[in-house]
Amino acid sequence: MQRVVLLVVLVTAIWCLEPLPCAHAYNDFPTTATVTTTTTTKIKGLQLYDALDAVNFLNEGQDSANYSYAIQPHGNLFYTEPLNVTSGWGVSWDTTTLLYPYRVNTSSGPVAPCSSMAAVPGDRPGGDLTAVPMATLNATQCGIMCCNNIACVAWVMAKAPGNFFSCVVGQPCCYLKQAITAQVNTPGIVNALIKRPELSVETPVTGIRSAVPLGGVACGSIELRADGTFQEWTIINQSPGGSPKFGVVDDAILAVRTRGHASNSVRAAAVRTRPPRGLPGVASLRYRGSYPVTRLDIGDPQSPVEMAVFGYSVFKPGDLNRSVTPAIAFTLNAYNPSNEVQDVSLMLSLPFSNEPDTIRAPSPGNKNVLRKVTITGGAAECMHLCRSTKSCASWSLTSGTCTLQSDVPPNNYKPGSVSGVMGMWDLHDNSKTVHSESYRAPSPINLNRPGRGPMAGNISMWASGQSQDPAVSLNFTSSYGTGDDLTSLFRQFEAGVWPTSYNATAIHGAAVTTVTLPPGMRATLTIVFAWYFPYRDHVGPSGNQPTQALVLGNWYNNLFRNSSQVASTLLPKLTSVVEDILAMQAVYYQATMPESLRDYLVNGMSHIRSAIYTADGTWRQWEAYDCVDIDSVHNDYQRHMPYMIYFPETEKQKLLAHGAKQLSNGMIQEELSGGCIGPTPAWESAGGRRMGDVTTIFIAQVWQFYAWANDLTFLRYIYPRVRAAVQWQVSVSPNGLPEHLINTYDILALDQYPLCTFNSVLHLMAMRAAVHLASVMNDTATVKLARESFDKGSILIDQQLWYNNSDGKPGYYQSYNGVSTQHAVMVDALYGQVVAYTLGLGSVLPLDKMRAHLMAELKYNDGPYGLIVQTGREPPTNKQDNAIWMGGSQDWSALALRVFDTQSDFDYADLLRPSEKGLNHWRMWLRDPWNTHGLVASNGYTDLQGGLPLCTAHYGFHMVLWHIPFSLSRQTAYLFNSSLSFAPVTPVPYNLPLLLPNTLGYLTAAYTQPGEVRYTVALVFGSLRVASLSVSSSVIHNVALAAGQQVSWTTTE
């Protein structure tokens, strides 16, 4: 009976929101409420060793030194971000080939080598991977170059008709192709296909294809992968608005060493399963990731010490400035279970003055080239030539030619080449031993790069250590060194010696920290790696050349003076940083939700890698690095929920920017900078398409800010933009629903039809929000306009889009109208209703029809990897429809939890299975959760294997999963009315998140005795002050909580 009463109450509350919410019709059951202060919501007082050891993980992968990997290209994609970027400066990072690492099954036996088929006359335009200059036209050499590039599937050889990549017009050139395009008969040109061996491969372990991005918020990031490699470097202002990322920096290594005092036995190894340059590695690494923490457990039978390496960065909900810390802490947790005293050492070595497989191509006309020299000594010789040449700022080495330049051109990927930027290492001798519970080296090692370009700035490495037992002092020491040869540096580390002098212009800089660990003792060794590159650049309005770039800078310029200050600030806060991470993660990891959802709620914030936070305080974000528009409203809102909760000021700022760019007719423009693949548009060049999920979402998000944050000042400021947006939205909906508008499902081309359900439901939701906003502002004209449009649209959607199955089976909302022979079913068609429920706007469609529609989606669209986006349109296997969009399965579960009765219709766990299927496909089948793409191919998707990524990497579409916790708890916030309510669909006992702007906590329920339930609302971050707090119709009043406090009360059922 209570459940029926509650549904009535919720509907009543929604429709009373004109012009102000009426009183909630909750039942005041007998309660006993107390407010208590607690420390259980946030772990405090731990030593760093225990804090890191307490980090939970819901994924893992164990890489072995015996494994081997190969990259296999998969073609016929729309676009996706590659590992190595060849497109140059100010261009999207996209390719039509998926270059996916696979573990090779070595038991399959030897395979034939790659070979080129016979060359034939003709060209194959398009599909270019790169172009390589040749001394002469030599088909055998061109074929070998293609075989040596794993992504190459064909080649074309000719005298270059124009400058392209590194090829010069009129000179012999080998064009490597990543796609097999149609052959065209062109005189003087030959081409051939490549014959590659068929490898027996399998999906690699978790942590090989992607890993947690480490680095502060909007500071750039690096991934520490399961094999110990450092990949995906964007810390030096790399983005599609400037220079390409570094895919792999192979000579960047962590290393560990142990030495037994009695036996003098030494074991040193790189923390790598397949280390470079013949260095000794470890037998295995067990990878686990929990944003923003990576853990690598070292499997080494030869080591007498148990060791785990952690990489982590600062992330604190509600504190954006603290989170903007450009640094990574690498901490070794070491435990000595042996009977012998052991010296344990950690080394971090970075080759920051050397960039393998990159080139810094001279500026047009070679005007900044100082000299070109033929050398035999490799990268170190070229770098030292630059050091000894006046005004030399950068260098590149290709095929023995060392090019010295007075400027620093952008880096670009070129296999076999090496380049670098001049800099000077700065360090001090501080190797004396300190006997203490904790240790911090007196100073760091720094690399300083002069100038004012995006590559100018500095890095620091600063060593520290701490005993796990605060009552026990240990011997700590640290040292720094430089060198041109990684092998030599490692051998010195292995021998336990370090040079007394150093080369200020060396390629490598290294930091070492050591602890003497008695038997049975535990300690941490930490090296903080900090960076400071203040001159972030971006494509400017004058042209798409580096010399025409805008200098945007970074927000961290306002917080720190240099990398040394970054490291110095972070070192004493390491434990509190981990405590904040533990507290944030516990909100989700302890929740009554499927493991896949809990894992993604934590690790989904890896999406923040693409954020931009400029020196003047402008916050922006790429749609993706391969689709380079900035802050498209529809894409932003799919991923906006955690940003709204953790850093709401970023979402508010973007709303204001979209309002400022509103067109004179009231339409909100799609994006703050336009474009997708190809050249990156200029900064703040707003534009876009006429869309069904842009102006509607703008209206909805303004309502969300008012309802969740009670920000009346903001509402009053932006309301004129809302009113104009409502007028435009109604104008494109002459009969009550929007007509011929495209939406985020643009590949489906739904704008060719008069109406589509996706746009229609969003329109109804937006009109409901508009009525409430206009009521608050006493704007009766807009209330009338929006209500009339809602009423007309409600009738029209039933008339034009509801389809009654002719076979007597339940009907559904067809994807579009206008084609009488087609009744397509589109997954996520009711997305607008998902948003409406989360924002407390109630049902905009009849419950019975929503239930029938969701069942139709399962019946017609379910597939092995998730819900297929659309069925029922001819031809049935067309490329556009036969794909899985990563938001569809998540929104299905979010909506199903709202419209089905979890006691009589379905168990709530059953309603979560579509979400689990979609997420587990990435977690457990692809094992690539930190690089979730926007689309996945379904079986029969042309020639791409079903289940593989199809389009746009590191995407945010799946982040609509954040609606699911709200559907589970039915949290409804009307903070302008000082009320917060929950009506969980999960049975008692439960633990569910409390999520509001700048505020995180949890709601728990447990039986104290039969028929009596105890509710607890606890805060972990932020504060909460409401006049009415209710759970399942049990209400208490005048609640005020701060972080670390909770309120508990009991009630009878």
Q: What is the mean pLDDT of residues 759-777?
A: 98
Query: Where do runs of H (alpha helix) occur along 149-304?
Result: none
CA dihedral over 270, 276, 279, 280, signed as positive or negative: positive
Q: Are 449 and 423 spatial neighbours (Cβ–Cβ below 8 Å)? A: yes
Distance CA 611, CA 772 (A): 32
- Pairing mode, if any, of strands 866-867 and 31-37? unpaired
Q: What is the pLDDT of residues 147-156, one digit of tens each?
A: 877 678 899 9
Cα 696 to Cα 599, 671, 733: the distances in Å are 31, 14, 12
Is the predicted pLDDT of residue 7 greater than 80, yes or no?
no
Is the predicted pLDDT of residue 13 greater than 90, yes or no?
no
* Residues forming a β-bridge with 979: 974, 1028
SS3 category, 576: helix
Is the predicted pLDDT of residue 923 greater than 70, yes or no?
yes
Is the predicted pLDDT of residue 427 greater than 70, yes or no?
yes
pLDDT for position 684: 95
Query: For residue 84, what are the contacts with CB-CB under 8 A and spacing of at least 6?
Result: 244, 247, 248, 357, 413
The order of strands in the sheet holding 230-233 is 213-214, 222-224, 230-233, 246-248
Residue 255: which of 514, 578, 571 has the closest Cα?
514
Q: What is the mean pLDDT of residues 960-966?
A: 98
pTM over 0.95: no
Rounded to a whole number of angstroms, the CA Rg of the chain reads 30
Distance CA 164, CA 168 (A): 7
Distance CA 433, CA 444 (A): 16
Burial of 212 (0-12, 13-18, 19+ CB in 10 A): buried
Is the predicted pLDDT of residue 19 greater than 50, yes or no?
no
Q: How many residues does the chain have?
A: 1053
Q: What is the pLDDT of residues 54-63, one digit of tens each?
A: 999 999 999 9
Is the predicted pLDDT of residue 17 greater than 50, yes or no?
no
pLDDT classification of 43: cutoffs 50, 70, 90: low
> In 10 A of CB 343, how many CB atoms?
18
Torsion over CA of 107, 112, 115 and 117, rounded to 10 degrees?
-120
Query: Where do runs of H (alpha helix) occur along 801-902?
Result: 831-838, 847-861, 888-899
What's the start-to-end Cα distance of the chain, in Å?
10
Q: What is the mean pLDDT of residues 164-180?
A: 86
Which one-letter DSSP state was computed for residue 722?
A: H
Distance CA 110, CA 493 (A): 38
Helix-then-strand count for the chain, H and E: 21, 56
pLDDT for position 4: 26
pLDDT classification of 16: cutoffs 50, 70, 90: very low
Alpha carbons within 13 angstroms on the beta-carbon side of residue 144 total: 5
CA dihedral over 943, 948, 950, 953, signed as positive or negative: negative
Q: What is the pLDDT of residues 930-958, one digit of tens each?
A: 999 999 988 876 566 788 999 999 999 99
SS3 category, 972: strand
Q: What is the mean pLDDT of residues 837-855?
A: 97
pLDDT classification of 861: cutoffs 50, 70, 90: very high
Cα 340 to Cα 299, 305, 434, 688, 915: the distances in Å are 20, 10, 21, 68, 51
Q: Are 927 and 287 spatial neighbours (Cβ–Cβ below 8 Å)? A: no
Distance CA 9, CA 377 (A): 79
pLDDT for position 397: 94
Looking at every residue in the chain, the average pLDDT score rounds to: 91
The crossing angle, in degrees rounded to 10, of helices 633-646 and 648-660 is 150
Q: Are 625 and 657 spatial neighbours (Cβ–Cβ below 8 Å)? A: no
Mean pLDDT lowest among 588-597, 768-777, 818-827: 818-827
Chain centroid to CA 930: how far? Answer: 6
Cα 596 to Cα 607, 872, 917, 980, 1017: the distances in Å are 17, 31, 9, 28, 25
SS3 category, 565: helix
Distance CA 703, CA 839 (A): 8
Q: Are 567 and 327 spatial neighbours (Cβ–Cβ below 8 Å)? A: yes
Distance CA 462, CA 482 (A): 14
The tokens for 866 are 């998730």
> In 10 A of CB 582, how many CB atoms?
22
Q: Are 1018 and 587 spatial neighbours (Cβ–Cβ below 8 Å)? A: no
Is the predicted pLDDT of residue 617 greater than 80, yes or no?
yes
Q: What is the pLDDT of residues 258-273, one digit of tens each?
A: 999 999 999 999 999 9
Cα 45 to Cα 51, 437, 521: the distances in Å are 9, 15, 19
Q: Are 1020 and 1002 spatial neighbours (Cβ–Cβ below 8 Å)? A: yes
Q: What is the pLDDT of residues 391-413, one digit of tens each?
A: 999 999 998 999 999 999 999 99
Per-position DSSP letters for 919-970, written without gaps between them: HHIIIIIS--GGG--SEEEPTTSTTSPTTSEEE-SS--GGGGGGHHHHHHHT
Is the predicted pLDDT of residue 22 greater than 50, yes or no?
no
Distance CA 1002, CA 586 (A): 9
Distance CA 255, CA 291 (A): 23
pLDDT for position 110: 56
Distance CA 919, CA 912 (A): 11
Is the predicted pLDDT of residue 371 greater than 70, yes or no?
yes
Q: What is the mean pLDDT of residues 238-252?
A: 94
Distance CA 493, CA 270 (A): 11
- Compare 749 and 433 and report the one with higher pLDDT: 749
Is the predicted pLDDT of residue 37 greater than 70, yes or no?
no
Peptide bond into 240 cis (omega under 30): no
> What angle is formed at CA 684 by the lines to CA 682 and CA 690, rounded to 5 degrees?
100
Mean pLDDT lowest among 332-346, 444-458, 466-480, 802-816: 802-816
pLDDT for position 844: 98
* Residues forming a β-bridge with 172: 159
Q: Are 745 and 756 spatial neighbours (Cβ–Cβ below 8 Å)? A: no
Instruction: Give the range with max mean pLDDT: 24-33, 314-323, 534-543.
Output: 314-323
